[in-house]
Structure 1
Amino acid sequence: MLEPLTPAPRPGAVVVTDNVGAMRGDYADHTAWIRLPDKGFVSLRASFRTGTEDSVRPVDTRGPIARPPVGPRSA
């Protein structure tokens, strides 16, 4: 359902999807699509019983989502 709107959501846009845990099958296509890295969203699922997922299109305009390196920092 969100696919036709992309690329319309501006950086900073938030998509809230409720009941992703309780209605997993109904939201399978949506969650699979919005979690693809090339769609430009970062998603976080709250572990409530029925599940709520917040997806944000980051404001960073440097291109693909920059993820910090994992591991100890060098001083």
Structure 2
Amino acid sequence: MKNIVIKNVDEKLFSLIEIESKKKGISKNKFLKEVLENYFLDSSLKLIDEKYQNLVKENLKVINENTKILKILLGE
């Protein structure tokens, strides 16, 4: 595992981190690791969701085009 050192943290921010970590009953280190993990997980999920939405749009285009062709073939 690697270590990260964050310097010159604003006192108010430090206090907020301390308060939140105490609320959760975990260390500041563990709290900040969770924050970072959630940030990157959230980013990954957004990317996956965007790809899924694009896939759905493309599939709908293909389905609609196939439906048009089937109607032509069936004489509708």
Higher helix share: 2
- The structure that is strand-richer by fraction is 1
Bin for the TM-score computed over the shorter chain: under 0.3
> Which has the higher Rg, Structure 1 or Structure 2?
2
Instruction: Tell me the TM-score normalized by structure 2.
Output: 0.23
TM-score (norm 1): 0.23
Relative contact order (alpha carbons < 8 A, sep ≥ 6): 1 or 2 greater? 1
